[in-house]
Structure 1
Amino acid sequence: MELRHLRYFVTVAELGSISRAAAKLYIAQPPLSAQIRQLEEEVGAALLVRWSRGVRLTPAGSSFLDDARAILARAEQATQRAREFQSGERSTLRVGLVPSATQSLLPGLLRRFVASNLSVQIEAQERVPSARQLQALRNAELDLGFVRPASVVGQSEWVCAIDDPYWVALPHGHALARSTKPIAVKALEHAVFVAFSRYAESDFFDQTASLCEGAGFKPDVRHTATQFMSVLAMVSSGLGVAIVPASCAILAQPGVAMRRLTGIARKSQLVLIANQALREDAWGRSVLQIAEQELRALEVSVRAASVAAR
C-alpha cells in the first residue's frame, strides 16, 4: 500500500464520484478504478459501492477513510518537519496535555509563546493520557508534554515537575462544604463521585481510586467526563464530588467548593517531558525554557491557593 493509493481513495470518497476524482487528480478514470480495486484487495474489504449517482462508502470504507486521512496528515507533517530541520527554521511544536492540565496550562503557555520572539506554531493534542504521551514522545510523534505519571518518568524525558496536591471539589450544598477546613479522604466514603474518564486520563483515575482504597473504601464513580470543566459542571449540578489536582482547584467555578485533602502519603505531580531532539537545538531549548516558566508560574498559583485554604 502506498500513499498515492490513500490519496486516490480519499479523493474519490470525498467527491463521491470516480469520474470527478479522476478529473481532479489529472488521471484517466480506468487507471483510477484499477487503483481503488487494488487497494480494496490489499485491505481485504469492499470500501466503496457504486450507485446511480456515483459511489458511496461501505461501513468498512467509512472507518478506513478516517485512518487514511490521519495517515496522509501525518505524512504531510513529517515532510514539513524534515524541511524545517533542513533549513534550521523549526516552527511547529507538538504539545500533549492530560485533560486535567489543559485549562490550567494551555492558555498561559499560548500567551507566553505569543509574547516571545520565537516563531512557534503549536499543535496542541489535548486529553492525551500520560502513558500514551510517553510512547508518542519516544516515537517522535510529540515534542513535549505535560503528564501525571503513575511511575517515575525516565530521566531522558523528564524536564521538570511541580507538586500538584489532591483536592476535592464539592457542590456548595454538600455537608462537607460547610467547613473551610481540609477534609480527610475517609470522609468521602459514602459520597457519589464524578471522575475524569479512565480512557482519557487513566493514570489520574487510578491514582485517585487508589487514594480511596487506601482510606478503606472503593469510590462510587457514577459519572465521568473527559474535560475538567465538564467534571466541575457535574459537581456544580450536585451529581457528586470529585478529587482534582490543586492546579484545577484554582479554576473553581460558581456552585463548587474546593477543599484540600489531608492524610495522603502519595505525592501528586505534574511533569513536563520532552523528546531528545527538542533538547539538542537552540530553538528547542528556548521552547523548553518558556514551557518550564509556565509550569513554574502554575506552581506559584498552586502554593498560593494552598496557603489561602489553611
Structure 2
Amino acid sequence: MELRHLRYFAAVAEAGNLSRAAVKLNIAQPPLSTQIRLFEEELGVALFIRHPKGVRLTTAGQALLPEARYLLERASRLADVAREASHSGNASSIGVGFIPSASSIVLPSLMRLLRKQHPRLHIELHELISSDQTDALIAGRIDAGIVRLTTRHPRLCQVKSIRDPLCLAFPSSSAPRASGPIDLRRFSEHDYVAFAQHKGVAYSDHANHTCIHAGFSPRVRYEASTVHGVLDLVSASLGIALVPASSSLLGVKGIAFRALRQKMADEFLALLRRKVDPNPVLSVVEASVEATFASISQRISHLVSA
C-alpha cells in the first residue's frame, strides 16, 4: 500500500466525483481511475459505488476514510517533526485537548507539572467538547484529551479517570441546611442555570438525563458558556445548577454545593488517547494527569463520597 493511494482515495471520497478529484490532485482522470481500481484490488474490497453523477462510498469505504485521513495527517507532520527536532535538540511537542468545563480545574495544575517535569516540551492546547476530541484523536490532530465520555472506538482507550459526579449548586443564602446528600426531586420546581449545550453537549445531556431520571425536566431560565459563568449566575440568585463536583474547587463566592442521592453512571473526568502511539511524551502526560486527578479527587472527596 502506497501513501499516494490513500491520498487519491481521500480526494475522491471528499469530492464525490473522479473529475473534480483529478483537478484537485492535478492529474488526469484516467490514471486516477486506474489507481483507485488498483487500490481496491489490493484491499480486496470495493470502496466506491459508481453512478452517473459521480461516486459514493461503500460501507468499506466509509470505514476506511477516517483511517486514511489519520495516516495522511500523521504523514504530513513528519517533516515538521524532523525540522523541530533539528532546531531544538531534545525538545518535543504534544497536542492536548480539554473540555471547557474542566479548563480552570485541570489545566493550571497539569501545565505546572508538565513544565516542571519536561521544561522543553511544546504543548498545543485545544478546547474541544468530548465528541470533537474523539474525532481529533482519530484524525491525529491531538495526542491526548481530557473528556467526560466513554468510547468504544477500537483505536482509542481511556487510561486515567476519576469520579466527578454532578452535584447541586445553590446560592449560599438559600442552600438546604442539611450537609448530606439531597434528593434531586425536591428541586424539580426550581429555576435552573445551565451550561450552554454548544459548549458541552455531553455535559448538558448528562445533566438533563439526571433530572429526567429523577422524574422531571429542568426549567432552564439562564445559560452560560463556562462553569464560572454558571456559578456566577447561581451566586446572583438567578437559579440553581447541576455542576460537576470538581466545580467546588473554583472558589466562587456565595455558592454552596450539595451531593446528590441519585448515583449515575459515567460521571468522571478521563484522559483519552490512542491505544498505539509512538510519542514518548505521552508517558509524561499520563503521569502528570494521574497526579492532577489524584489531587482533584482528594479535594472533592467530601462531595464524591457523600
Q: CA deviation at 1:297?
A: 2.2
Partner of 1:135 in structure 2?
135
Q: CA deviation at 1:182?
A: 1.9
Asked whether the equivalents of residues 184 and 214 of structure 2 are also in contact (C-alpha less than 8 Å), the reply is yes
Q: CA deviation at 1:227?
A: 1.1
Distance in 2 (CA, whole Å) between partners of 1:153 and 1:228 is: 29
Deviation sequence 1:158-195 (CA, Å, 0-9, x none)? 11211111111111222x43332321111120111111
Q: CA deviation at 1:152?
A: 5.6
Deviation sequence 1:9-47 (CA, Å, 0-9, x none)? xxxxxxxxxxxxxxxxxxxxxxxxxxxxxxxxx9xxxxx
Partner of 2:282 in structure 1?
284
Q: CA deviation at 1:153?
A: 6.7
List aligned pairs for 1:121-200, cutoff 5 A. Answer: 121-126=122-127, 128-149=128-149, 156-174=156-174, 176-200=175-199
Asked whether the equivalents of residues 129 and 147 of structure 2 are also in contact (C-alpha less than 8 Å), the reply is yes
Partner of 1:219 in structure 2?
218
Alpha-carbon distance change, 230 to 153 in structure 1, aligned in 2, over 3 angstroms: farther
Point out 4+ residue stretches in structure 1 off by more than 6 angstroms. Answer: 85-88
Q: 1:251 corresponds to which letter in structure 2?
A: L
Partner of 2:116 in structure 1?
115
Deviation sequence 1:67-113 (CA, Å, 0-9, x none)? xxxxxxx99x9453453478884522222111211111001011101
Q: CA deviation at 1:205?
A: 0.4
SS in 2 for 1:124: strand
Q: CA deviation at 1:208?
A: 0.8
Q: 1:298 corresponds to which letter in structure 2?
A: I
SS in 1 for 2:159: strand
Q: 1:166 corresponds to which letter in structure 2?
A: L
Partner of 1:236 in structure 2?
235
Alpha-carbon distance change, 186 to 155 in structure 1, aligned in 2, over 3 angstroms: farther
Distance in 1 (CA, whole Å) between partners of 2:150 and 2:284 is: 28
Gaps of 5+ in 1: 1-41, 43-73
Q: 1:253 corresponds to which letter in structure 2?
A: V
Partner of 1:272 in structure 2?
271
Q: CA deviation at 1:154?
A: 5.5
Q: CA deviation at 1:306?
A: 4.0
Partner of 2:107 in structure 1?
106
Give the TM-score normalised by the residue count of structure 2.
Answer: 0.68
SS in 1 for 2:272: strand
Distance in 1 (CA, whole Å) between partners of 2:118 and 2:184 is: 46
Asked whether the equivalents of residues 171 and 177 of structure 1 are also in contact (C-alpha less than 8 Å), the reply is no
Q: CA deviation at 1:134?
A: 0.5
Q: CA deviation at 1:287?
A: 2.5
> What is the aligned-residue RMSD (CA, Å)?
2.7
Residue number among 275, 291, 294 corresponding to 1:293 in the alignment: 291
Alpha-carbon distance change, 90 to 114 in structure 1, aligned in 2, over 3 angstroms: closer
Of 267-276 and 204-213, the range deviating more from structure 2: 267-276
Partner of 1:261 in structure 2?
260
List aligned pairs for 1:11-160, cutoff 5 A. Answer: 78=77, 80-81=80-81, 83-84=83-84, 89=90, 91-126=92-127, 128-149=128-149, 156-160=156-160
Partner of 2:42 in structure 1?
none
Distance in 2 (CA, whole Å) between partners of 1:137 and 1:199 is: 20
SS in 2 for 1:183: coil
Partner of 2:63 in structure 1?
none
Gaps of 5+ in 2: 1-23, 25-72
Deviation sequence 1:100-143 (CA, Å, 0-9, x none)? 111110010111012214422222222x1110110011111111
Partner of 2:245 in structure 1?
246
SS in 2 for 1:157: strand
Distance in 1 (CA, whole Å) between partners of 2:232 and 2:290 is: 30
Q: 1:122 corresponds to which letter in structure 2?
A: I
Q: CA deviation at 1:150?
A: 6.0
Deviation sequence 1:263-291 (CA, Å, 0-9, x none)? 2243411110123564x243332222222
Partner of 2:65 in structure 1?
none
